[in-house]
């Protein structure tokens, strides 16, 4: 999709932050990059140009991108390339699990590109990545940020059978912008994925990005829809336009608005909400885990009937 060129608004003061690194990092960003590169894996941290990469990597955490680095969908906000994907690599699940073990991660996030060209949308491979990671890392909790798999029940069931501890699927934006921003996605499908995940007994999570032209009332409607679907964890962040070829940034959202939306979400019944300009789906995922487990639980405690 072609977007009309326009000059984005100037970044306000609250977006001009100094890059932060953990003061007592268990590892360094260079260590993480070396291990990821050496294993032939990809991270969404790099592929999606996440602004929090330095902070997370210096704390020894990363979000792994499986099923390749080429996506079959073209979403206007996303910096991952759209191209004909390569065949799936059957060695990837084991390589992922071994890398997680070598990094000694307490909490790992696994995400993927969309693989709509495959009959199962890649769900069998994605499930294998979860299973192998859990097998080699029994003390590590596993969070997935998964595509909608076209809301196919059999594909979703494969993920459920692999039993990740948290299932995240991002709604991303409001329904009125789907045709423009993510034309190959479907708002109803996303809600169905989240509803089925919650009904299957998993801690369901979703995320939104703001600044694409949505109204606050529309955002609140999406938050309410997600909660009705059984979602308990929510992230809300600021859209940052990767390049001039991407969907134009319409507005920077004030911190006070993020606080307003966080308060609204908590009143709706969400148990954990991260909302702020630099918040991303996997940012502080370990902090959410600590909150859910009250710092002394076990990963298995996250699975519950809702």
Please tell me whether 75 is known to bind a ligand.
yes
Please tell me whether 129 is known to bind a ligand.
no
Per-residue tokens: 271: 């148990």
Phi, psi of 107 (to 5 degrees): -140, 130
Instruction: Return the number of other C-beta atoms located less than 10 Å from residue 273's C-beta.
Output: 21
Can you give the length of the chain in residues?
Answer: 306
168 beta partners? 145, 205
Identify the helix (H) or strand (E) that includes residue 275.
strand 272-275
Q: Considering only CA atoms, which of 72, 55, 71 is closest in space to residue 63?
A: 55
Contact 158, 146 (CB under 8 A): no
Distance CA 189, CA 52 (A): 29
Please tell me whether 282 is known to bind a ligand.
yes
Helix ranges (DSSP H) in the chain: 29-39, 44-47, 53-58, 92-103, 123-136, 153-162, 178-181, 187-199, 216-228, 255-268, 285-293
Which residues fall in the annotated binding site?
45, 50, 56, 71, 75, 78, 282
Which residues fall in the annotated binding site for [4Fe-4S] cluster?
45, 50, 56, 71, 75, 78, 282
């Amino acid at each position: 999709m072609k977007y009309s060129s326009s000059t984005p608004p100037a970044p306000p003061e609250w977006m001009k932050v100094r890059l932060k690194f953990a003061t007592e990092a268990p590892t360094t960003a260079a260590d993480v990059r070396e291990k990821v590169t050496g294993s032939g894996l990809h991270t969404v941290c790099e592929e999606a140009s996440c602004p929090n990469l330095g902070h997370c990597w210096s704390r020894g955490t990363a979000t792994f991108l499986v099923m390749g680095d080429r996506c079959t969908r073209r979403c206007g906000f996303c910096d991952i390339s759209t191209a004909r994907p390569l065949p799936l690599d059957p060695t990837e699940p084991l390589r992922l699990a071994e890398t997680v073990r070598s990094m000694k991660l307490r909490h790992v996030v696994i995400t993927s590109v969309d693989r709509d060209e495959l009959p199962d949308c890649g769900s069998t491979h994605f499930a294998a990545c979860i299973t192998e990671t859990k097998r080699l890392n029994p003390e590590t909790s596993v969070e997935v940020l998964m595509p909608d798999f076209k809301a196919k029940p059999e594909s979703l069931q494969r993920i459920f059978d692999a039993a990740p501890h948290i299932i995240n699927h991002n709604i991303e934006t409001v329904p009125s912008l789907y045709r423009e921003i993510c034309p190959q996605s479907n708002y109803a499908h996303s809600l169905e994925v989240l509803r089925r995940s919650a009904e299957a007994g998993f801690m369901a999570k979703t995320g939104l990005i703001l600044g694409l032209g949505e109204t606050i009332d529309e955002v609140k409607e999406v938050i309410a829809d997600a909660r009705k679907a059984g979602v308990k964890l929510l992230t809300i962040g600021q859209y940052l336009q990767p390049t001039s070829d991407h969907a134009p940034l319409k507005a920077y959202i004030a911190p006070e608005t993020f606080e307003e939306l966080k308060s609204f979400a908590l009143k709706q019944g969400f148990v954990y909400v991260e909302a702020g300009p630099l918040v991303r789906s996997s940012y502080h995922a370990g902090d959410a885990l600590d909150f859910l487990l009250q710092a002394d639980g076990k990963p298995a405690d996250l699975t519950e009937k809702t």
